[in-house]
Amino acid sequence: MSIVREFKDFATKGNFLDLAVGVIIGAASGEVVKSLVEKVIMPPIGLVLGKVAFGDLKVVLQEAVRAQDGKDDAVKEVAIAYGAAIQTLVNFLVIAFIVFLVVRAFNRFKKAAPAPEAPAQEKLLTEIRDLLRSSS
């Protein structure tokens, strides 16, 4: 089988297309969640904690040094931006919770697959085993 035909078979399988749709929808929903967290969830939390924007929280290790012309920094600021990390963590938790709810709802609607029936040989062997156990 040629590599072109193999790729065509791979690309036209339902799982591949489902994955592509999932990635696209996931990227779009990630942007929605990011906006929700930055614009709706974090501002009230920042207000409660002292009117601070979480994205701006940082520990400055080295202040920026201005160039002599005063336009640019000769040395950039070195800081640990823990506020941005907290905001990213909240984004992750919101996305993970939404994915959990979607999977949970999907599993509830999915019909339970019937248990596969054992082959006749297996049934016979089970009966023999049970008879041997009861006779001893």
Report how far residue 16's alpha carbon sits from residue 21's, in angstroms, rounded to the nearest whole number. Answer: 9
Instruction: Specify the CATH number for the domain of residue 81.
Output: 1.10.1200.120
Q: Which helix (H) or strand (E) holds 59?
A: strand 59-62
Is there a domain that residue 22 lies in?
A: yes
Cα torsion 69, 72, 75, 77: sign? positive
Is there a domain that residue 125 lies in?
A: no
Is there a domain that residue 117 lies in?
A: no
pLDDT tens for each residue of 42-57:
788 778 877 677 777 8
pLDDT tens for each residue of 5-62:
887 777 676 677 677 777 888 888 878 888 887 788 878 877 887 767 777 788 888 8
Domain count, the chain: 1
Is there a domain that residue 123 lies in?
A: no
pLDDT for position 43: 80
Buried b / exposed e along 85-119 (16+ C-beta atoms within 10 A): eebeebbeebbeeeeeeeeeeeeeeeeeeeeeeee
The answer to whether residues 53 and 46 touch, using CB atoms and an 8 Å cutoff, is: yes
pLDDT tens for each residue of 66-121:
777 767 767 788 888 888 888 888 878 887 887 788 778 877 877 666 667 777 88
Question: If 0-12 CB within 10 Å is exposed, 13-18 middle and 19+ buried, where does residue 12 land?
Answer: exposed
Is there a domain that residue 135 lies in?
A: no
Euclidean distance between the first and the last CA atom of the chain, given in angstroms as a whole number: 59
Domain limits at 40?
Answer: 3-112
Is there a domain that residue 124 lies in?
A: no
